[in-house]
Amino acid sequence: MQLLLCATVKIFLCPLGFELQFRLGPSLQGRKVMVHTNYPLEGQPFQRHNFHVLEWNYPSGKDDDSDKFCSLNLKIAGSYQYYFGCGTTERSGGGYIVVDPVLYCITIQTYLSKCLGHLDDWPDRLRVAKESGLVQHDPLHSSANSRRVQVLLLLADQLAVNPDFIPEGQSYSWVDVGALVEKLRKEWNMLCITDVVYNHTAANSVWIREHPECGYNLVNSPHLRPAWVLDRALWHLTTRVAEGRYKAKGLPADITNDSHLNAIRTVLRQDLFPEIKLWEFYQVKVESAVEQFRILLQNEQRRDWCSQMSHHCTIVQDPQFRRYGNTVDMDSALETFVPHSSLPQHIEECCGWLRQKLSDLNKEQLHIIQQHQEQAANCIVGNVVYERLADHGPKLGPVNRKNPLVTRYFTFPYQDMTLEQELQLLDQPDKSCHFLAHNGWVMGDDPLRNFAEPGSNVYLRRELICWGDSVKLRYGNGPEDCPYLWAHMQKYTEITAKYFHGVRLDNCHSTPLHVAEAMLDAARAVRPNLYVIAELFTGSELIDNVFVNRLGISSLIREAMSAGDSHEEGRLVYRYGGEPVGAFVQPSLRPLMPSIAHAMFLDVTHDNECPIQLRSALDSLPSSAIVSMACCATGSTRGYDELVPHQISVVKEERFYPKWNPAAPATSASEVGFHTGIIAGKLALNKLHQELAAQGFIQVYVDQVDADIVAITRHCPSTHQSVVAVCRTAFKDPKTHQYDTNVPPMFIPGKIEEVILEARTVDRHAGTYKKDDGYINGMPEYTVEIKEHIPLQDSTVVKQAGVTSKGRSEFVQEITFQKLTPGSVIAFRVSLDPKAQKLVGVLRHYLSQFSPKYRRGSTADENPPEVLQKPLAQLMSKLTLADLNVLLFRCDSEEQEDGGGCYNIPGWETLKYAGLQGLMSVLADIRPNNDLGHPVCANLRQGDWLIDFVSNRLVNREGPLAQVGQWLGAMFNYMKHIPRYLIPCYFDAILVSTYTTALDAAYKLMSSFVQNGSSFVRHLALGSIQMCGVGRFPALPPLSAKIEDVPYRVNPITGQKEQCCVSLAAGLPHFSSGIFRCWGRDTFIALRGLMLLTGRHTEARNIILAFAGTLRHGLIPNLLGEGRCARYNCRDALWWWLQCIQDYATHVPQGHEILNCLVTRMYPTDDCEPRKPGEVEQPLYDVIQEALQRHLEGISFRERNAGPKIDMNMRDEGFSVAAKVDPATGFISGGNRFNCGTWMDKMGESEKARNKGMPATPRDGAAVEIVGLSKSAVRWVVELHAKGLFPYDGTKIHRDGKEVFVSYSQWNQQLQQSFEAAFWVSGDPKDPNEKHPDLVHKKGIYKDSYGASGPWCDYQLRPNFTIAMVVAPELFTAERAWKALDVAEKKLLGPLGMKTLDPDDMVYCGVYDNALDNDNYNLAKGFNYHQGPEWLWPVGYFLRAKLYFAKKLGQETYGQTVNLVKNVLSRHYTHLERSPWRGLPELTNENGQYCKFSCETQAWSLATVLEVLYDL
């Protein structure tokens, strides 16, 4: 699994045993990144704060940021932290990973340990949970002295066994508890977990009296003093109300109606609040403060008295919260109230101002406290309503000391005294330190906030729902703040972890996170594989994630009782676990996706009301069955199965659980057995739950049949067996609610093997429920009528079952019910029909050659088709790269040439490619999310159209491709006979296997650079297959018949033998077929990257020679048009062609031999008709010589068929083509202002804007990249001649009427000497080489052209000079080159491409819209094609130039440049991976925005980026 480095509050669950890889996201590539983690090193214990650095792995053996990763082998469950730093920043981001153990098999039953009795009685009482697999206890440590306390939450002595569990005369210790737990594990295969409570302790704990600093008391938390005063006043109000002293005011002891509630408010407002005067704790003593102020004024020596006053005088809260203890910030008072002079009357006047201000501030404080008091009154009344009036409340009865008006918020460990006497204790620290705040919870509060800390008014406002026998513990920020408490609780934790297999974090959401972290660390030091569960009441999944991540919680408790109807209950099953039925097989290496916390799904918890009270007794079984079918840990609470019709109070319950007796009579209160309640049904459901988990039934489907019936399917993706449970809920009591007697039939796909169980809750007429005094008994009147593992015909629930067939692969059984009454459950075991079962096994057998995942459930084929008898890799090894172009790619227009097209998904869209990549791109988005509702999946389920399309387009071809098609067809033939809901996942599996095998075959045919390269290199190299193919009609002119290794085929139309050389498309989809497929310029810019670097040397040679054969006027065509429709209207294609011949000679072993290859000339003279192949042939070196000679001589001609026939926009002057060597400089110069002979070739098209026939970027004169390319070519032929590989050292030309000889060596030197003088823009007005200093607006750059008809154009900043830097770096001074590259980086470099024009230029516009036709000359009809939009291919040259010159400037500069290059290219890698075309676009709009008019994937974009990686 891969995790891109980021920071998040999401949960990343990693299964135990997996390898987790950390990879760099785009923003981090090219930067020095270090990953730290606290996952322990091998053999070392986990230490939360002990981080170590992970080492980077380099799969390709090179320092490639796109591929490198660091990893963890996850062998220990728990939560671990990672962070990463960039450069000098140690922490740039980070997060958590949760290593998840397999938890699906767990079933649990929770118990109140106080109801189990003595330890000796536990086995008999726990026996009822034997079939559940796991049992949880509440805390077993010593609880409060009285059995009436809230045992789930209260611990008096965390370090001792509760004496209630020890029989009289016995002495049990933790060792005995541990022995019992171990016995249950060995004999019953049952694990035990227990609650741990960190947030509070029992109020009567001895140790808290000895160490009151461990709680929040009035000494260490003086902000609680006002709340304590209110609490004591309320206690005294309780005693007075109980004594009847407020009866006359309408407030009796027995509060029963709204008038009594109103009386409470009246008493609070009129009597209690005025008596205790809480506002005095927040006010200042005015006269004392004024006197202090007066003295300061009298003593202060001021020269400049000023009458201006500010209004910022503030009161400072007394940290000890004494009455009138607040003080005035005298500095602010002196600045606020300034006397006119030092005269006494002015000082007194000023004191008066302060007196008034303080009175106002005191009134503000009074108002705030009155608001707090009003909220306190609301909360007090609300509490009284719940406890005494509400139907769902405890109805405590009259107010008395045992049941006070409200629960006390603080302990008071002293004898009764008057309120006045109690208030005197406030000033006695030895007494007030024992007034400890109780714990509780605050509705709607932030769970990460500690409500007892300063700044919180929860206790004052009476917002705490208080647990009156607990004390909230005060840990502080660490052990140093409360050493005894930390040590005590750590020891408690270690004891618990030693004897129990897991813990439930009680009140987890209110436990300080740093405390829970430290305690769980201590627990895991004792038991590393500790199972930790918790119930969070945060109300926020994001906050839940914080707890899960920080604490490593294994499971969060979720409850079916939270569902208001059966539909919601079914949704919870789907939510809490499993993948959908028919889910896709995920690749072994895949991105780690965020997930929800693992659930422990209970039908009910101890904290909530009994389901029988809210629903009906008959609903217990079907709702429990729904829970049991969930693909997660499940469970229940003891008492649920016995149908106990009330909540078992964790506070007040004093009775014992009944013991286990298999023969217990229905009316027994002290014993339970198989016939008690729904126990028999529950045991069967628990066994089924464990079986489903153990056997890999990990897929889930929930069907809401009607308002009350839920059908849940659990499916095994390897055997394709299913279990379908149909549950008829009974949320309403059938005795009072009329249920529909017409149960809809069900259609279950496949063959029903058996009825696993059918069960109904029935009335057995055994009397009615009567609450027992000694035992927690259930309703005797109901039991379960159950049958297990019976044939379908023996079912009493099913009336009949008929088999229907939906097509050749869909066998469905129609089920009609007769006794699916409310409260019923039936579970079917379902297999595929026998034929489908066999064929899916055979399919898995053939898929197992690609992955061991398919071995389970596989079956060998008895009579395998011949094509399947060989491994697919063997068939693929016969394919050429041109074949792989057909197999993997080919866009719609390419396919249409063959009479086909790409597949269209009805109601959605057409696939990008007819080949496998078209589907793989779509499936790559569908697969991770199991988006089975996607239109592609729907299409696959509905019919075989797409399936047949994939195989038939290959079968209809010849040779090895047809064999691959036959292989796919044979696999699909098996697949067509399995149920349609499984088709998408198996179709994907077959395609993934075929695709990956094809990629392996492709890379084996490529160069070592690709084979040993990174994933990025390989992705780009696929662009070679994507762009290079053979169409129905030859795109290239014929080569000489004397050339070896030229591919031939028989033309399907003429029956004649013809050459079928690979051609290179310029871009997809716009430049992929017909005469618009091949362009000279595009071909030779892309050829080095896509063909030479990938090892396609023969095909590259063929393309070079084919274009050589079309040489005319000394030029290579721009638009090739198979040579016969060629246009010779560009000045640069010839020089790109020569550059590729040079690259071929350099990269290919014995590559210089291409110079001797024969070229079949189509146009041996400029004006001749096309010659037949072989009629005129000459070696390539002669063609090169002719091209150089013609440029030196000067080229000037008018295009054939000039006019609208070949260009409907160009003006007449534009059809005149000219190019020559300037004798003064050696530069290739040409063109005019009406044509555009370089790659920036946009011709105006808008009549409305009057730009039609005007080139946007004529770039006439000497274009900088052509000068660089010509220098490279001339230098090369000089070197070749010196080696005896090129027969010419120059050429004769006519100049000024004379024949002269021009030496290539002289031409080379002339270019070298002329270049910087002509092209460098120094910005120095005195520069003698600068002809137009007034046009310079960017200095430290190289001109885009020299001698343009519009001089301004020479000085425009464009990215073209970087091309010259790469092909002819010798022209440039390193320091000047670096300055120009720096300007280009700052001004032109975008996220993916290079701006084609300086954004400071007046005609810059970065958004290309070819459809826009308005009156804007610079924009209409995409006139700004090269005036700002960011083209990708120049980025390759820019980065290569940076790398070249960085090396010249030293190792430090080079290192920084390498990092820049990696960072820039990371964005291309990201785009490449995400693009459905699996390519890089022609261009983007400004700042990398998508441009819909761009080719989605462009040959030269892919090629030049690949060249950068080669240079790296």
Buried b (16+ CB within 10 A) or exposed e, 1194-1225: bbebebeeeeeebbebbbeebbbbbbbbbeeb
* Active-site hit among 271, 565, 607, 931: 607
Strand (E) or helix (H) holding 1198? strand 1195-1198
From 281, 283, 277, 208, select the one nearest 457 (Cα to Cα). Answer: 281
Reduced to 3 states (helix: H, G, I; strand: E, B; else coil), residue 91 is: strand
Q: How far apart are CA 1052 and CA 1443, in angstroms?
A: 50
Contact 901, 551 (CB under 8 A): no
For residue 509, indicate whether it is catalytic: yes
Retrieve residue 733's tokens: 């009591």
Q: How far apart are CA 1126 and CA 1111, in angstroms?
A: 10
Q: Torsion over CA of 913, 916, 921 and 923, rounded to 10 degrees?
A: 130
At 1110, the amino acid letter reads T
Contact 406, 380 (CB under 8 A): yes
From 1139, 1180, 1374, select the one nearest 1267 (Cα to Cα). Answer: 1139
Among all chains, which residue has been given the structure tokens 């198989």? 674
Strand (E) or helix (H) holding 141? strand 141-142
3-state SS string for 15-76: ECCCEEEEECCHHHCCCCEEEEECCCCCCCCCCCCCCEECCCECCCCCCCCCCCEEEEECCC
Strand (E) or helix (H) holding 1301? strand 1298-1303
Reduced to 3 states (helix: H, G, I; strand: E, B; else coil), residue 756 is: strand
Q: How far apart are CA 1357 and CA 1355, in angstroms?
A: 6
For residue 506, indicate whether it is catalytic: yes
Total number of residues shown for the chain? 1512
Contact 298, 289 (CB under 8 A): no
Adjacent-strand bridge partners of 3? 22
DSSP 1371: G
Cis peptide leading into residue 1369 (ω within 30°): no
Q: What angle do CA 782, 787, 791 make, to 5 degrees?
A: 155
* Active-site hit among 509, 598, 689, 1019: 509
For residue 100, indicate whether it is catalytic: no
Q: Torsion-angle region of residue 888: left (phi > 0), alpha (psi -120 to 50) or beta?
A: alpha
Q: In sequence order, which residues have a C-beta less than 8 Å from that of residue 1291 and are 6 or more positions away?
A: 1185, 1188, 1189, 1192, 1301, 1302, 1304
Q: How far apart are CA 473 and CA 267, in angstroms?
A: 33
Q: In sequence order, which residues have a C-beta less than 8 Å from that of residue 724 and are 6 or more positions away?
A: 711, 712, 713, 748, 827, 828, 830
* Distance between start and end Cα atoms, the chain: 28
Q: Are strands 470-472 and 782-790 parallel, antiparallel or unpaired?
A: unpaired
Q: What angle do CA 1381, 1383, 1384 make, to 5 degrees?
A: 60
Q: Torsion over CA of 1070, 1076, 1078 and 1079, rounded to 10 degrees?
A: -90
Contact 623, 603 (CB under 8 A): yes
Catalytic residues: 506, 509, 607
